[in-house]
Amino acid sequence: TQQGAFIKIPRSDGSYTKIRLVRSFKYLGVMLSYHNFEQETMALRIKHSDQSAHQLHRWLFTQRLSAQQKVRLWYQCIYTCLRYGIIATGFTDSTLLQFYRFSIRQLRRILREPVHLTHENNQSFLQRHNLPDPLLRLKSICLQTATRSLQRQWTLADDDILNLTPLPCYDHLLQVIDQVN
């Protein structure tokens, strides 16, 4: 129609219910789409993480807390928001690179050491401040998720409905993390 594409679902009374077909939509914090859902989900997660960082600006980017407390707060709040849903939707090299760049930019901002002033590479920066690498932490979380899923599969009955749900390919996700790292 002039308003866009719709799917017509017939009703028992002979009428039709129209549902608009959209390119993508947000559901439970991830983007569902037939086209590049990994990129759309990562963009959404970065946007929400940036909003969370803005809400915590008073504590993350001012002098009220120690550097160690700020980093812990960042990992507990912002990083958790950033990684939400991306193991389930998957990620590509480019989306994982966006994830890493956002994380490093935030950590450098918290510690007031932008790369254009220090000229220090990211690995040296993380090591000097004894900070966990965001990608290695994501790899650890991915391994934990894979272990939990495997244990769940062992305990499920053969006719359990959860057996119908396809699991992410954790080996592929770990390979992508290793490539980017």
Query: How high is the pLDDT of residue 51?
Result: 95
**Both structure tokens of 152:** 């769940």
Q: Rounded mean pLDDT of 73-78?
A: 95
* Local confidence band at 104 (pLDDT 50, 70, 90 cut-offs): very high
Distances (CA, A) of 75 to 1, 16, 80, 110: 47, 49, 7, 12
Collapsing DSSP states into helix, strand and coil, what is residue 6? Answer: strand
Element (H, E) at 26: strand 24-27
Backbone angles phi, psi at 74, to 5 degrees: -60, -45
**Distance (Å, whole) CA 50 – CA 29:** 14
Query: How high is the pLDDT of residue 118?
Result: 80
Element (H, E) at 18: strand 16-20
Does the pLDDT of residue 181 top 90, yes or no?
Answer: no
**Distance (Å, whole) CA 145 – CA 151:** 10
User: Tens digits of per-residue pLDDT, 125-139?
Assistant: 999 999 999 999 999
User: Tens digits of per-residue pLDDT, 132-168?
Assistant: 999 999 999 999 999 998 888 888 888 888 778 788 8
DSSP 8-state code for residue 61: S
User: Tens digits of per-residue pLDDT, 34-74?
Assistant: 888 999 999 999 999 999 999 999 898 887 888 899 999 99
**Both structure tokens of 100:** 């890493």
Query: How high is the pLDDT of residue 139?
Result: 95
